[in-house]
A and B are shown apart, each in its own frame.
Chain A
Amino acid sequence: AQSVTQPDIHITVSEGASLELRCNYSYGATPYLFWYVQSPGQGLQLLLKYFSGDTLVQGIKGFEAEFKRSQSSFNLRKPSVHWSDAAEYFCAVGFADFGNEKLTFGTGTRLTIIP
């Protein structure tokens, strides 16, 4: 069965430091890949998405993600975090298999920024 794993439940980084959030999936083909961010009490906002083509994807707020087929990963990165980046981040993977569509979210990674 298809699955999405975000191995880090909680990450703490200093403001100005670099960030990498991990996302791994299990699926036989290349899925559709998304990263969303959720601030406290808010809905989800799309940061970036990958469907095909260049495996390095640029998103909003200075985020980027790289799709690595060999590792079944789609990790999110930011070179220098800001205090406003503190939020929960969700990787989502879309599967379309023989007419059966599914969008599965990871369990999320909560990001804390320290001054």
Chain B
Amino acid sequence: KAGVTQTPRYLIKTRGQQVTLSCSPISGHRSVSWYQQTPGQGLQFLFEYFSETQRNKGNFPGRFSGRQFSNSRSEMNVSTLELGDSALYLCASSLNPGLAEETQYFGPGTRLLVL
């Protein structure tokens, strides 16, 4: 069974631009979560989607948004990019929703560099 895939793997943008990252979960997994990983802040939860609805949201500004499609694929969007948005963005899928108890399977991440 194929793992979680994320595209693109690397991305360079400039301040003020917007970016869309894509995530395809493991086949049969219905929940997708997004995380931001930076050397300074570590791994921080962005949001969780299930059945095309946002179930949970972390403490990020409204510039960060996401959505989930009927096939469970998910996208996240960051508008008006700032230098501090440079990070590795990780997507994780799980069979069922539930941040606390469900095992998350992570993709390789998209590394975003904002210049």
Q: A residues within 8 Å of B by Cβ?
A: 31-32, 34, 36, 41-46, 49, 51, 90, 94-96, 101-108
Which residue, B33, B90, B103, has most C-beta atoms of chain A within 10 A? B103
Q: Name the residue on B nearest A34 (C-beta).
A: B103
Q: Evaluate contact between A101 and B103: CB separation under 8 angstroms.
A: no
Known: A90-B43, A102-B45, A105-B42. A43 touches B4 (CB 8 A): yes
Number of chain B residues close to chain A: CB under 8 A? 19
In-complex Cβ contact of A32 among B43, B92, B101, B108 (8 A): B101
Q: Which residues of A contact B33 (CB under 8 A)?
A: 103
Q: Which residues of B contact A107 (CB under 8 A)?
A: 42
Q: Evaluate contact between B90 and A43: CB separation under 8 angstroms.
A: yes
A93 to B99, CA, bound (A): 10
Known: A43-B90, A108-B42. A102 touches B108 (CB 8 A): no
In-complex Cβ contact of B100 among A43, A90, A95 (8 A): A95
Q: Does B64 make an interface contact (CB < 8 A)?
A: no
Q: Evaluate contact between B42 and A31: CB separation under 8 angstroms.
A: no
Q: Which residues of B contact A31 (CB under 8 A)?
A: 100
Given A34-B103, A96-B99: 5 more A-B contacts, CB < 8 Å: A43-B90, A44-B104, A44-B106, A46-B103, A101-B100
